[in-house]
Structure 1
Amino acid sequence: MLLSVIMPLYNEESTAAEIIDNVLGLDLKLELIIVNNGSSDKTGDIIAEFADRPNIKIIEKKHNIGKGDGIIEGLKHTTGKYTIIQDGDLEYDPDDIVRMIQLAEQKNAIAVFGSRILNPASGISYKRYLWGGKMLTWLANLLFGVGITDESTCYKMIRTDVLREMKLESRKFEFCPEVVAKLGRNKIKIHEIPISYNPRNFEEGKKIRWTDGAEAVWTLFKYRLKPLSKVLIDVRRQTSGNRQ
């Protein structure tokens, strides 16, 4: 299997069917791991309609701990060479995943991010999210020297074995800065590719809050100061001198 797509869902009844169809319709050898994070609407019923589709796995969680918790659970079931996260809304276009996997294969890359900033035609998010994202990107570049343009992008494609070696800890939205921090600490090059973006607002179901931004800042500092575990040191040794 080339690609594992982890899709954590929480109360996405209005978009779940469409985004699942869009991912399954990609011309790629992939598996889709859907994690229902304790949805209280009809998301679970919608997901169940896809249960008989090939290359799809459905994981039901009773309680919504957070996006990161769903990703950690989904990662246990991945078999693909690469893993990417797909949100359950329609902000991100799965067609961009095809170009990301092509770049990963061409460059033998460990990590490829989809950047909304690199695409001038991409929809601009609301100002507080735009500037919050820019601030987090600046801080990540300052602390870890990763040289990226979009720290908070959902589209982070990472080689599955490396993602597992990270021993992820973040259970909520701070998953993103944890991944960026650990890639940076391991001196792993992050490739970027322009992607499209169609932002939604709170009325349309956007769930991130300003407190998540504060948590992201704390997470970046935490993993800058935290000693590397033996597992992460091993990954660093494997990639030192060859920032793929």
Structure 2
Amino acid sequence: MSKTLSIVIPAYNEGPTIHFILDKVRAVVLSGGLQKEIIIVNDCSTDDTEAAIQRYQQENPGFNIQYYKHEVNKGKGAALHTGIREATGDYVIIQDADLEYDPEEYNILLKPVLDEVADVVYGSRFMGGKPHRILFFWHSIGNKFLTFLSNAMTNLNLTDMETCYKLFRRETIQSLQLKEQRFGFEPEVTAKIARIPGIRIYEVGISYYGRTYAEGKKINWKDGFRAIYCILKYNL
């Protein structure tokens, strides 16, 4: 029986660029392979994100998008909770609405689960020979510190806990009681996944096309401190 991949896309104020990532996702959908469902959760954007998505749907009538909207802004984590809850595919992958991650690499993440050796796959920006945009020194130090602290608590040996690209078996991710509303999603889900008996976690190298703040990057130093709090909270 054919397997299905649910692609969960949280979106907040991505109106000017969301059609670019949808073009990339659409190209992957049309290329065949696994069946795919696209779930977009608009976290009460204040720009024209909703209009941009609706316009894209009208211009691409054969491209099925399940669209959900929060009536108040709750945060990226909350948007992911909604998307994960609505997913019906065999596997669920997180896809940011920006252009930092390349949907053409879904197959890289899918291979370990399709080979029946993994239940969860993380896409690492810090391993492999894929292209990486050179940006912020302190961001890279912060990411490595958070990954180190998370690993020390979970006894995992991840290289990139904070990566967007995380792929789960649907029943695995839907079994978790997730609480974090913003960027604390990453350390929380990692802590809770690590505690599942017998869970098989893999990591694969991916490319990374990072954005500057002028280009729309949203995470900041406050989210870093929240991540430290979440690592301690969900592991102690």
TM-score by length of structure 2 reads 0.91
Which shows bigger deviation, 94-103 or 205-214?
94-103
Amino acid at match of 1:33: I
Q: Secondary structure of 2:86's partner?
A: coil
Q: Does 1:90 align with 2:96?
A: no
Gaps of 5+ in 2: none
The answer (yes or no) to whether the contact 1:35–1:70 under 8 Å persists in 2 is: yes
Cα distance in 2 for partners of 1:100, 1:18 equals 21
Distance 1:14 1:50, change over 3 A: closer
- The within-5 A match list for 1:103-118 is 103-118=112-127
Amino acid at match of 1:202: Y
2:15 match: 13
Deviations 1:64-92 (A, max 9, x none): 21000001111121111111111111010
2:64 match: 55
Cα distance in 2 for partners of 1:62, 1:203 equals 27
The answer (yes or no) to whether the contact 1:113–1:155 under 8 Å persists in 2 is: yes
The answer (yes or no) to whether the contact 1:183–1:189 under 8 Å persists in 2 is: no
Shift of residue 189 of structure 1?
A: 3.0
1:230 match: none
1:77 match: 86
Shift of residue 124 of structure 1?
A: 3.4
Amino acid at match of 1:182: K
2:212 match: 201
The answer (yes or no) to whether the contact 2:37–2:65 under 8 Å persists in 1 is: yes
Q: Secondary structure of 2:7's partner?
A: strand
Q: Secondary structure of 2:167's partner?
A: strand
TM-score by length of structure 1 reads 0.88
Shift of residue 54 of structure 1?
A: 4.1
- The within-5 A match list for 1:17-36 is 17-26=19-28, 27=31, 28-36=34-42
Amino acid at match of 1:37: D
Cα distance in 2 for partners of 1:74, 1:42 equals 20
Q: Does 1:153 align with 2:155?
A: no
Deviations 1:96-130 (A, max 9, x none): 11221122211441100110000343223411210
1:39 match: 45
The answer (yes or no) to whether the contact 2:120–2:201 under 8 Å persists in 1 is: yes
Distance 1:53 1:37, change over 3 A: farther
Amino acid at match of 1:2: T
Provide the identity percentage: 39
Q: Secondary structure of 1:41's partner?
A: coil
The answer (yes or no) to whether the contact 1:151–1:176 under 8 Å persists in 2 is: yes
- The within-5 A match list for 1:159-198 is 159-187=169-197, 188-198=199-209
Cα distance in 2 for partners of 1:8, 1:17 equals 14
Amino acid at match of 1:25: A
Gaps of 5+ in 1: 226-244
Amino acid at match of 2:231: L
Cα distance in 2 for partners of 1:125, 1:171 equals 27
C-alpha RMSD of matched pairs (Å):
1.4
Q: Does 1:4 align with 2:6?
A: yes
Q: Secondary structure of 1:95's partner?
A: helix
Amino acid at match of 1:13: G
Cα distance in 2 for partners of 1:71, 1:139 equals 24
The answer (yes or no) to whether the contact 1:110–1:190 under 8 Å persists in 2 is: yes
Distance 1:117 1:11, change over 3 A: same
Cα distance in 2 for partners of 1:30, 1:109 equals 20
